[in-house]
């Protein structure tokens, strides 16, 4: 299997899928299974233990580890490991675990590590989960699997933490490039190279160093005006976009500038405006409609959706869940939730709705009928109510595929639907605030 582009790897990471991170052949020459920490389900941890066979670690930022008071096992000065891997004291969640080593317990500990409400006392030391401290600057500072996985999570818009595990061969030796390619093909996982990630960041990011500094002086300076061939006193500053400096944050700057003879004008972007929905859910409310049929898998989709919303700032008590008998009934329940209002102005109660379910092909045409009706009905509900409704219904050939799409090696469809709902809810707000929606 060929090396995937960084863009493709980022899309997989954001969707909760595994990627394999490989370094140079003259370094460790190894590959690590990696998945964003937000998607570290018990099934994902079990897959890493069963198929990867290496040590399962959580790559995290130094800032987060410091906040949780998780120290390095050894100081950088006394770290004599070949590649200076920054292991910290292993930890475990204080609550919700038994022995701490099971896939379920380790997944609980990982969720605890990235929960913004977690405090140092919510963890016990030592434990069975091994945090790794990523170097500030990511792969631009250290070309390691730890930094690469945190960079992928950050650039994918997720919590900057990832679970990684070295891949070993059946005979216990470390898997090398040809072994990793066979592993990737067998499990349908893409490979991304750290070298490509470094090159990608260098293309996308601009790093500036300050070579000269002077405090503001309220005197007239002469400067070159790029719009004119001669030099003249600065009397005008053109803002590149009409919406760049607006609101309360700009007022002190504008006032001080005008007091000293600077006049500001605004220029519209000749390319028009771009509207995007971000992935911040603070203050938002979401409704989840889920089918009870195949509820073992459905509960994993629900957990993936709830965890994703919470990780992006949605309060737990702002996520409501409604259960339906099957996928066929999802559109009707979605309409009911979308039409719920509050306040004197009858504002929509939910910012978005998420529909979850599992439809598995059988020996009759029932699959096509139910899946088709669910898809078209959910789309119609969104159009009728003008509320974003995300489609998170799994339609698979067999139950094995369904389990893979519910939090193991192929991501979690519930988490993907939650991200789509977040983005659409925010895009709706952006467009409404500009009069475009």
Q: What is the pLDDT of residues 357-404, one digit of tens each?
A: 988 886 666 677 788 888 889 999 999 999 999 999 988 888 888 888
Structural tokens at position 129: 């989960």
Higher pLDDT, 130 or 347: 130
Q: pLDDT tens digits for 393-418?
A: 988 888 888 888 787 656 788 988 99
Give 252-297 as a DSSP string: HHHHHHHHTT-EEEE---TT-------S--TT--EEEEEE-TTHHH
| pLDDT at position 206 | 59
- Give the dihedral sign, CA 220/222/223/225: positive
Torsions phi, psi of 164, nearest 5?
A: -130, 155
At residue 26, the pLDDT reads: 61
Locate 288 and state its tokens: 């989840």
Contacts of 188 (CB under 8 A, 6+ apart): 409, 410
Instruction: Report the C-alpha gap between 405 and 393 in whole angstroms.
Output: 10
At 86 the three-state DSSP class reads coil
In degrees, to the nearest 5, what angle opens at C-alpha 371 toward C-alphas 366 and 376? 130
What's the predicted TM-score (pTM) here? 0.52
| Band (207; pLDDT cuts 50, 70, 90) | low
User: Mean pLDDT over residues 96-101, rounded?
Assistant: 94
CATH architecture of the region 6-203: Alpha-Beta Complex (3.90)
* Pairing of β 352-360 and β 347-348: unpaired
Strand residues in 205-270 grouped as ranges (E): 222-224, 231-233, 236-239, 263-266
CATH topology of domain 286-434: Rossmann fold (3.40.50)
Beta pairing class for 123-134 and 53-61: parallel
Q: Which of 280, 311, 308, 279 is nearest to 116 (CA)?
A: 311
- Cβ atoms within 10 Å, residue 185: 11
* Whole-number pLDDT of residue 240: 43
Task: Categorise residue 429: left if φ over 0, alpha if ψ from -120 to 50, beta otherwise.
Answer: alpha
Percent of the chain with pLDDT over 70: 80
pLDDT at 195: 93
User: Measuring CA to CA, how many Å separate 216 from each of 91, 219, 220, 221, 233?
Assistant: 49, 9, 11, 11, 16
* 237 has a pLDDT exceeding 50: no
Strand partners, 289: 322, 355
The secondary structure of 132-188 as a DSSP string is EEEPTTGGGT--SHHHHHHHHHHHTTS-SEEEEEEEB-TTSSBP-HHHHHHHHHHHT
| Domain residue limits, the chain | 6-203, 286-434
The pLDDT, as a whole number, for residue 32 is: 96
**Peptide bond preceding 126 in cis form (omega within 30 of 0):** yes
Digit-coded pLDDT (tens) for 10-42: 999 999 999 999 987 666 678 999 999 999 999
Q: Is the Cβ–Cβ distance between 186 and 52 less than 8 Å?
A: no
The answer for residues whose C-beta is within 8 angstroms of residue 260's C-beta and 6 or more apart is 218
In terms of Cα–Cα distance, which of 314, 288, 318, 294 is closest to 390?
Answer: 288
Helix (H) or strand (E) run with residue 126 in it = strand 123-134
Count CA atoms closer than 13 A to 166's CA, side-chain side: 15
366 is catalytic: yes
Catalytic residue from among 145, 187, 312, 366? 366
For residues 360 and 239, give the distance between their C-alpha atoms in angstroms, rounded to a whole number.
55
């Amino acid at each position: 299997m060929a090396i995937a582009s960084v863009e493709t790897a980022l899309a997989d990471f954001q969707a909760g899928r595994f990627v394999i991170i490989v370094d140079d052949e003259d370094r460790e020459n190894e590959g690590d299974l990696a998945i964003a920490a937000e998607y570290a389900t018990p099934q994902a941890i079990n897959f890493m233990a069963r198929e990867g066979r290496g040590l399962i670690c959580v790559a995290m930022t130094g800032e987060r580890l410091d906040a949780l008071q998780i120290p390095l096992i050894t100081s950088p000065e006394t770290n004599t490991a070949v590649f200076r891997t920054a292991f910290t004291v292993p930890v475990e969640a204080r609550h919700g675990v038994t022995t701490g080593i099971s896939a379920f317990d380790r997944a609980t500990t990982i969720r605890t590590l990235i929960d913004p409400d977690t405090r140092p006392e919510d963890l016990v030391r030592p434990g069975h989960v091994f945090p790794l401290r990523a170097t500030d600057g990511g792969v631009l500072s250290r070309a390691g699997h730890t930094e690469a996985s945190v960079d992928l999570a950050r650039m994918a818009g997720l919590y900057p933490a990832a679970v990684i595990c070295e891949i070993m061969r059946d005979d216990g030796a470390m898997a090398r490039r040809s072994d990793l390619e066979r592993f990737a093909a067998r499990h349908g996982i893409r490979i991304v190279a750290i070298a490509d990630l470094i090159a990608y960041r260098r293309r996308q990011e601009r790093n500036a160093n300050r070579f000269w500094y002077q405090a503001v002086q309220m005197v007239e300076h002469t400067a070159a005006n790029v719009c004119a061939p001669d030099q003249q006193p600065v009397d005008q500053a053109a803002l590149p976009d009409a919406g760049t400096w607006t609101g309360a944050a700009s007022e002190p700057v504008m006032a001080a500038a005008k007091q000293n003879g600077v006049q500001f004008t605004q220029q519209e972007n000749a390319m028009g405006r771009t509207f995007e929905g971000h992935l911040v859910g603070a203050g938002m409310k979401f409704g989840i409609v889920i089918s009870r049929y195949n509820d073992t898998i459905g509960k994993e989709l629900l957990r993936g959706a709830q965890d994703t919303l919470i990780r992006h700032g949605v309060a737990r008590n702002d996520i409501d869940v409604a259960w339906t008998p099957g996928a066929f009934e999802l559109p009707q329940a979605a309409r009911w939730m979308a039409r719920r209002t509050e306040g004197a102005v009858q504002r929509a109660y939910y910012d978005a709705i998420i529909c979850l379910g599992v439809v598995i092909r059988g020996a009759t045409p029932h699959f096509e009928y139910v899946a088709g009706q669910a898809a078209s009905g959910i789309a119609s509900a969104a159009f009728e109510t003008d509320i974003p409704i995300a489609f998170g219904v799994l339609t698979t050939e067999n139950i094995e595929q369904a389990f893979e799409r519910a939090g193991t090696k192929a991501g979690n469809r519930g988490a993907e639907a939650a991200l789509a709902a977040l983005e659409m809810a925010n895009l709706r707000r952006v467009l409404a605030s500009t009069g475009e929606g």
